[in-house]
């Protein structure tokens, strides 16, 4: 079981800037909880996502000495990739690859075909700098723009990514539209087609639908889950209304029921929960 905590996703849509020291204090607590990975920041245009303009500064304040948690940073173009690979502390480079042409343009200012080229460069530079790409298959379960979507389209683009050397794919329910049946069907299909790939889910949800979505992914064999404490966040580039992340506390409760919960330091978890009130008050 791999749990990926996503403070970056939780923070990025907030309009009031969170001070760098406060961000770092929060992430330093999360580093002690026991997550496999922290999606901690992004190297993207500060005009597009001003909240993440201090990612390098936050990174300089993180204490990784007593943590086995790995850091993931989001990149959206070649410039961001070239910046992120310079930091030895970063293990994973995440790239949002949308199967919706409209959203790919909105999110990365490039089309799907151009983004495939970016993925190729990401795979090449990541290998050279001893990092691992994580590709988020954005809008994997549908989109609000009227772009064509079906399971076969999602499978096609997943195949194109794997063909280019991608070994970790996270199926992203970007606007929270995924139905449990679609989650189970797509995940099961890709798991059979690409047995060597590591598949995960990055699900967004309303408070009423989180459990059925987690259960669909888990039942299909998913053992890599993204989530965010208290369900904060959402994608500010996707729509005017943010649909939040799966709340980490809900995911932990579900996995505890399944007796499939990795070791978690609940003391540090509670400290992070307490501090989150100050971080997300704005």
| Residue 35 banded pLDDT, cuts 50, 70, 90 | very high
Nearest by Cα to 250 from 221, 282, 225: 225
Determine if residue 242 is left, alpha or beta; phi over 0 gives left, psi from -120 to 50 gives alpha, anything else beta: beta
DSSP helix, strand, coil percent of the chain (3-state; round to 5): 45, 20, 40
pLDDT tens profile 235-278: 544 444 446 899 999 999 999 999 998 899 999 999 999 999 99
pLDDT tens profile 79-114: 999 999 999 999 999 999 999 999 999 999 999 999
Instruction: Using the CB atoms, write b or e for 207-216: b if 16+ within 10 Å.
Output: eebbbebbeb
Q: Mean pLDDT in the chain?
A: 94
Q: What is the pLDDT of residue 225?
A: 98
CATH number, span 2-279: 3.20.20.70
Determine if residue 244 is left, alpha or beta; phi over 0 gives left, psi from -120 to 50 gives alpha, anything else beta: beta
Nearest by Cα to 133 from 104, 164, 172: 164
Range 2-20 average pLDDT: 95
């Amino acid at each position: 079981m791999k749990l990926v905590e996503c403070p970056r996703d939780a923070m990025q849509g907030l309009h009031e800037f969170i001070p760098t020291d406060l961000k770092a204090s929060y992430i330093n607590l999360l580093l002690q909880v026991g997550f496999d990975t922290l999606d901690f920041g992004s190297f993207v245009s500060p005009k597009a996502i001003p909240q993440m303009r201090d990612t390098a500064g936050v990174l300089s304040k993180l204490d990784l000495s007593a943590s086995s948690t790995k850091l993931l940073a989001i990149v959206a173009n070649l410039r961001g990739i070239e910046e992120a690979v310079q930091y030895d502390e970063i293990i994973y480079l995440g790239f949002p690859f949308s199967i919706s042409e409209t959203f790919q343009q909105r999110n990365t200012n490039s089309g799907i075909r151009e983004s495939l080229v970016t993925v190729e460069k990401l795979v090449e530079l990541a290998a050279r700098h001893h990092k691992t790409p994580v590709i988020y298959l954005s809008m994997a379960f549908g989109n609000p723009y009227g772009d064509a979507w079906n399971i076969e389209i999602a499978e096609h683009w997943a195949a194109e990514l794997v063909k280019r050397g991608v070994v970790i794919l996270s199926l992203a329910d970007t606007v929270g539209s995924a139905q449990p049946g679609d989650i189970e069907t797509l995940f099961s299909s890709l798991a059979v087609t690409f047995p060597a790939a590591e598949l995960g889910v990055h699900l967004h949800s309303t408070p009423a639908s989180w459990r059925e979505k987690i259960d669909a992914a888990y039942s299909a064999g998913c053992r890599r889950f993204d989530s965010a404490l208290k369900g904060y966040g959402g994608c500010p580039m996707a729509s005017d209304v943010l649909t939040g992340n799966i709340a980490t506390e809900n995911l932990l409760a579900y996995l505890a029921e399944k007796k499939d919960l990795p070791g978690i330091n609940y003391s540090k978890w509670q400290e992070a929960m307490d501090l989150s009130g100050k971080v997300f008050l704005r």
